[in-house]
Amino acid sequence: MEPSCYERIAALRSIGDHCVYADEFWLLLQKKNAPICYVWFEPTPWMDITQGLLKTIYVNKMVKAGYIVKILIADWFAQRNHRICSNKYVIRKIGFYNIEMWKAAGMDLDRVELVWFSDVLERHASDYWPLALDVSRKCTLKRMARVGSKRGRISLLDIVTDPYNMREPKWNIFMHDKECALNGKISRAVCPPKVAVCNPCLEYIKYVMFPWFGKFEVAQKEQSGVNKSFECMEDLIVDYESGDLDPLNVKLAFEKGICKILELPEPSC
């Protein structure tokens, strides 16, 4: 059965922070049976779980809601990253590596179109470069840098004390992490007792654990290892803010969930 306009809007609202032009969006859904959704991605040999798991969740939601999803792989822009080779053929291989990670995570790639930016640029160079020069004349470098730093990126969830370390391999959670590395990162994660607002561990649970499993289970050591299952984030927040849930138990449950998704051995209690 084809999703209704309401279901399609609900699917995108569950993903996006806000809808800028709600009226125009509603009209678009009524006119087009399958609107196109573009997803931006820059190839990286260090794919974190927001790019691997969260993007898989979002793309599958859009596909299920009846959208045509096109992932724009910005291989041309990846040359800006000084940590990887600027050779476009090497970057293309890295992009294929990222695609294999999405496959392993369960992304419905059979219903997704992969678009390489360098291919598009080569076909439309005569249109692209005059437009790029026009933008460069009308915008300051500061403004372009500010926009470029935000475009197409899913914000990384900082799980450590120092937010400036969030991109470092020793802090960020990557799709290829082994259990020992994952354990060290989560054990150092910030998870203040009775504080749910801006709690990075709870943010991961909200945006990754619940969408992936449909629930979240916490083993409470003080109750002889009895599991407490939560069906929604709101119930988890109530118990956490009241002090019924210990942060260490929550972090351990989060680690077990990530290990299960990445098919790693579960941590011992």
- pTM (2 decimals)? 0.82
Query: What's the CA gap between 27 and 44, in Å, rounded?
Result: 37
Q: How confident is the model at residue 29 (pLDDT cuts 50, 70, 90)?
A: confident
Give yes or no for residue 40 having a pLDDT over 60.
yes
CB 248 within 8 A of CB 242: no
Average pLDDT along the chain: 86
> What does each C-alpha distance from 180 to 69, 183, 184, 255, 268 come to in angstroms?
36, 5, 6, 11, 12
CB 161 within 8 A of CB 190: yes
CB 171 within 8 A of CB 165: yes
Sort residue 170 into left (φ over 0), alpha (ψ -120 to 50) or beta. alpha
Query: What are 89-128's pLDDT values in tens digits?
Result: 999 999 999 999 999 999 999 999 999 999 999 999 999 8
Query: What are 171-196's pLDDT values in tens digits?
Result: 689 999 998 999 999 999 889 999 99
- Amino acid code (one letter) for 45: P
Domains, the chain:
5-148 (3.40.50.620), 163-261 (1.10.240.10)
Beta bridge partners of 38: 70
Backbone angles phi, psi at 48, to 5 degrees: -85, 170
